[in-house]
Structure 1
């Protein structure tokens, strides 16, 4: 018997594209073992009506929850809790605007099966960047944003996440470990990637498995990698990374190695220590982003930000 797959989806005013996403998921040959957990975040358009129609058609596969507007991260936390109450072995995440390739679930499951009983495991893939009509803007999201899928060591993911939530597949060990995701997490995918990096395995599938649709209403969209002086003078946001790292340290302190504790403690201090000490910490632990220009911007902000 196939192991059960839970796919988690939060929706909000997604009437324009939600049917295309659901149809692209439900064509899978894993339909008998696939379960969609959907939470609507207080939509005011036709999203709720559409979800009820799909729930009526796919009674075996779809569970829908309706509630007030609480945001993406609390929504995924709610769905993780509900799905972990079942006997699912694999967990995936979806965004309401995208379209999945019909091989996506097969590819993720095949990769997750290898060593899936030994360690927490995460698999992620590249994406096609597309416009509203699914015309391709870029054949590779990783190239479009100048990301390296193998930048998955803890020191790298603390400063920059390369794992995109709608491409993720994880095993139950990792799902149980990450829940509940704290409110200090920058996003659910970043927290999951941090946990997998520290305690498990991250593997990449070097091909696009999602059409990542870009439009005016994207909550989080894809912007082509570029550099401008404006980036150097924008308000410094290191504190959101260090808050996430502090929450990570508190949640997993008893599981971290001594070197991991040292690294996290130093990273957390980046928001507080003097400029020279902050730069020294960055070089000591190689807290580098991907690309010379990003790191130039990082160092400029470290040097010119107001210290706490």
Structure 2
């Protein structure tokens, strides 16, 4: 990491729920950041374990502000609340069970400064995947999931998110847009990525800055994406019916259209309408379109 000024205030937006098992390791990794942290906003969604006690144990080591929800918010609303309480120049999203590598914030700040201006700006990075005992499962999440970020577009994101929230850092203009995110959004990081790739600016770093923990309550990276697994998933869908394939993505796209239809440029507005029109197709044809998009991303 090049030497950069530390005059930009960075807020950490962290949400917690029953995270006592791993959160101490994450908090230690925040303490070890080479770039100073301005504040850590922790929004706890009614944890039933000792998560809050563990967090408060770091009150002398980190600039903490802890918010205890009185009603269950869920992931999307809780992250939006955490972001709303951040006051720094830049905001980084933080999961309770990962581990940040020491230069995570510094690398991200260096990456975002050239694109920060009057538009929402976002940077994100690769990750390494670890298990519950911190053993490395995959050196590169992008390689494991066959993700090529140079081929990511607004249209490809509509089919499914490839921008991992725990690596995100964005500016105040983006946080203003996040406040418009509806409760019905599929996931906060997917919504933020769509904003960045449609009306904002975005950069990515082909470097692992986070150890992304896979464990019994986190199934997002349970299996490598390879031909065998994709074929097994497809065969399962054929046998069990395709159901409402892409329905959650379509619902989110319609929400996005409702908010941004008058702001998107002609190309992005057209892509959004084209994707929403997939709803008229049978779920099987949606699945075929999805696999075509995967090939386009990986070829």
SS in 2 for 1:48: helix
- TM-score, with normalisation over the residues of structure 2? 0.87
Aligned length: 284
Matches of 2:191 and 2:129 in 1, distance apart?
A: 23
Residues 243-282 of structure 1 aligned to structure 2 (within 5 Å): 243-273=251-281
- Report if aligned partners of 1:151, 1:157 keep a CA contact under 8 Å in 2: no
Residues 1-308 of structure 1 aligned to structure 2 (within 5 Å): 2-31=7-36, 33-55=37-59, 57-58=60-61, 61-67=63-69, 68-83=71-86, 86=87, 88-218=88-218, 220-225=220-225, 226-232=229-235, 233=237, 235-273=243-281, 288-291=292-295
SS in 2 for 1:289: helix
- TM-score, with normalisation over the residues of structure 1? 0.84
- How far does residue 218 in structure 1 lie from its aligned partner after superposition? 1.9
Matches of 2:277 and 2:231 in 1, distance apart?
A: 28
Which sections of structure 2, spanning at least 5 residues, go unmatched?
Answer: 1-5
Residues 231-284 of structure 1: CA distance to partner in whole angstroms, max 9, x if unpaired? 3415333111111111111111221123322221221121124689x67x95xx
Matches of 1:24 and 1:190 in 2, distance apart?
A: 25
- Report if aligned partners of 2:18, 2:50 keep a CA contact under 8 Å in 1: yes
- How far does residue 58 in structure 1 lie from its aligned partner after superposition? 4.1
- Report if aligned partners of 2:128, 2:138 keep a CA contact under 8 Å in 1: yes
Matches of 1:215 and 1:117 in 2, distance apart?
A: 39
- Report if aligned partners of 2:147, 2:297 keep a CA contact under 8 Å in 1: no
SS in 1 for 2:85: helix
Matches of 1:3 and 1:292 in 2, distance apart?
A: 38
Aligned-residue Cα RMSD (Å) equals 2.6
Matches of 1:105 and 1:44 in 2, distance apart?
A: 30
Which sections of structure 1, spanning at least 5 residues, go unmatched?
Answer: 295-308
- Report if aligned partners of 1:130, 1:136 keep a CA contact under 8 Å in 2: yes
- Report if aligned partners of 2:35, 2:103 keep a CA contact under 8 Å in 1: no
Matches of 1:229 and 1:223 in 2, distance apart?
A: 12
- Report if aligned partners of 2:98, 2:210 keep a CA contact under 8 Å in 1: yes
SS in 1 for 2:293: coil
- How far does residue 28 in structure 1 lie from its aligned partner after superposition? 2.1
